[in-house]
Amino acid sequence: MSYAYTPGTIGGEMFNQGMAGLTEFGNKYKDNETIGGLVAGTYADVFRTQAMGGLSLQYNQAMSSHLANLQQGMENLKTGNQMKLMGVEGRIAKDLVNAQGEQQRLGIRETGAQQRMNIGAQGTQDRLNIGAQGVQDRLNLQTKGSEDRKSIVTAGQQERLNIGERYKQERGMRSDARGAIRSLGARFFG
């Protein structure tokens, strides 16, 4: 079989040479069932490894995308909270200006001064309360987001370990099966 493929890396070149050598070895001893099984098993291992690598890559890409969406959601939430705080501060400032204008129209300096002080104190307290609540809300959201991300990362790491362990076990079983076949073949052929 001839094909025009030029690997672009040292690893790709080594793989290409190894598979070509394996194919030549199998063709040289094509009537030997043990060598045929070795060659076929190696090809099966290579194809399965490629498939599992593809699955792993898809999983990692999906997790990266999911984590990016979570981060974007947190950023949007933070921006929304800041906009709400700015809106509340704007309304408070507008209320203060309106109260000052009303007092000036009434021309009651003493009463106006007292009301402005009361409105200012209430506005300051409202801003402090809103600011403290906003800080607390952001901390709660950041903590929950951090915990969610850690949980997702831990689950992903555990799944990758499980996949790796299953692959090792399957590979060991294939190796045991090949050894048993080789042993039976050796006893049969003498």
CA atoms within 13 A on the CB side of 54: 6
d(CA 127, CA 134) in angstroms, rounded, equals: 10
Q: Contact 56/163 with Cβ under 8 angstroms?
A: yes
Asked whether residue 189 is domain-assigned, the answer is no
Can you give the pLDDT at residue 3? 58
The single-letter code of the amino acid at 165 is E
* Number of domains present in the structure of the chain: 1
- The reply to whether 74 falls in a domain is yes
Write out pLDDT tens, residues 96-153.
Answer: 888 788 767 766 677 777 877 888 888 888 888 888 888 888 888 888 878 888 888 7
Q: Would you say residue 2 has pLDDT above 60?
A: no
Say which residue the tokens 């042993």 belong to.
183
Mean of the pLDDT values across residues 161-174?
81
DSSP, collapsed to helix, strand or coil, labels residue 4 as coil
Whether 51 maps to a domain, the answer reads yes
Q: What is the CB neighbour count within 10 angstroms for residue 12?
A: 12
Residue 188 in domain: no
Say if residue 187's pLDDT is above 70. no
Residue-level pLDDT at 178: 73
Rounded to 5°, the CA angle 163-164-165 comes to 90
| pLDDT of 23 above 90 | yes
Query: CA 97 from chain center: how many Å?
Result: 49
Residue 6 maps to a domain: no
Range of the domain at 99: 12-182
Q: Which of 41, 39, 43 is nearest to 29 (CA)?
A: 39
pTM of the model: 0.36
* Cβ burial 34-58 (10 Å sphere, 16+ → b, else e): ebebbbeebeeeeeeeeeeeeeeee
Is 4 a member of any domain? no
Instruction: Let me know: does 103 contact 120? Beta carbons within 8 Å.
Output: no
Number of other residues whose CB lies within 10 A of the CB of residue 103: 19
Domain membership of residue 1 (yes or no) is no
In a domain, 7, yes or no: no
